Each structure stands twice: as C-alpha cells, then as structure tokens.
Amino acid sequence: MRLVLASGNAGKVIELEQLLADSDVHLVAQTQLGVSDAEETGLTFVENALIKARHAARATGMPALADDSGICVDALGGAPGLYAARYAGTHGDSAANNAKLLRELDGIPSERRQAYFIAVLVVLRHADDPAPLIAEGRWHGRILDAPRGNGGFGYDPLFLPDGYDVSAAELDPALKNRLSHRGQALAILQQRFAELA
C-alpha cells in the first residue's frame, strides 16, 4: 500500500518511515511529489491533520497520512499547543521556538514544568473520504532548564520524558519511537490499516 505522507517536517518523515519500515505500508513524502505545505487553519490537532491529509490526497490522487502534533505545557495553560511550530513567530524555527519556551518558563521550578507531546494521525483513503482513520497519542514529561542532546527534532532537547533521565533528543531513536506520542498513535492506527480499501 502506497500512502503520501502529508508532512514537510523531515524529523516526522524519518520517524514515521522507521515506524512503518516492517509493514506493507510504503510512505512517499509529499515534498518528493512536489506537494506544498497546507495552510493549517484548524483550531484542533484533528482538524489540522485532516486539512493536511486532504490537501496531499487531493494533489496526488493517493491515500494520505498526516500528523498534526505539538507540545502542551501545564504552567503555560497548554501553550504552545496547537501553535508549537510557529510559537516564536516563524514557522519551523526550532531554535527560536525552544528559546521562547525556555524564556516563558524562566524561574519555574522543575516540579511545575510538566508537559506532554500530543500527536494526531489521520489516514484518508482519498481526498473526499468521509470516514478517516484517526488515532491520538500523548507522551508525558517535563521541560528542562536547558537543551540536552542532538537527536530527534523540534522540542526534543527540552523534553525529559517521565521515567527517564535523558532528554528525548538523547534517547535512542528506536526507543523514542516506542515511547512517543507519534509511536503510540501509529500503533493504534496500524491495527486499523487492514480496513483500508
């Protein structure tokens, strides 16, 4: 089964390809097919994932998988949340986003730095599919005082997963994929791939 992966984020593409490496799902990244990024106008992760999947399915005529994700920080009322990719103003500027997150949490002690990553994955069989497959995962932890590690992407250097003494950027990639919001959501979705036409 060939699916277009409706994401322009190289970190996500690597993780999702790895997660599906042993399956019969073959992902083709939308950038390889010349598909532009969709405008993320939704007010929820589900809406944005649907918008992205529909955009890629429409452009390619292929079934599509999309991931909308973010990080929600309790002490910030859930921010950056849905707006994680554009938290500091420029879409996808991880260095600026991470710096802003550290600034916003300046002086807040570690016991009040709880946060979770969330990912919503959507599969549309075609652009007008009225019955998308949808799965969600959440990964709990806290925000560090300073970045640690070079792996992963995005907010990983600032995220200390519950139960671990290393940041998400210091975890072995395969372990991150087993634990993460994205890995959890994909495990749920895979149980349903069999339903795909």
- The tokens for 101 are 């997150």
In single-letter form, the type of residue at position 5 comes to L
- For the CB of residue 139, give the shortest distance to ligand Y43 in the complex, in Å: 8
156 assigned to a ligand binding site: yes
Site string for Mg ion, 60-89 (x = CB under 5 A): -------------------------x----
Catalytic amino acids? 68
Cβ proximity to ligand Y43, 52 vs 142, nearer residue: 52
Gyration radius of the chain's alpha carbons: 16
Contact flag: residue 37 with ligand Y43 (CB under 6 A): yes
C-alpha 12/C-alpha 107 separation (Å) is 31
In single-letter form, the type of residue at position 102 comes to L
Q: Where in 65-84 is the site for ligand Y43 (CB under 6 A)?
A: 67-71, 84
Contact flag: residue 153 with ligand Y43 (CB under 6 A): yes
> Collapsing DSSP states into helix, strand and coil, what is residue 134?
strand
Phi, then psi, of 107 in degrees rounded to 5: 85, -5
Binding partner selected for residue 69 from Mg ion, ligand Y43, none, CB under the kind-specific 5 to 8 Å limit: ligand Y43
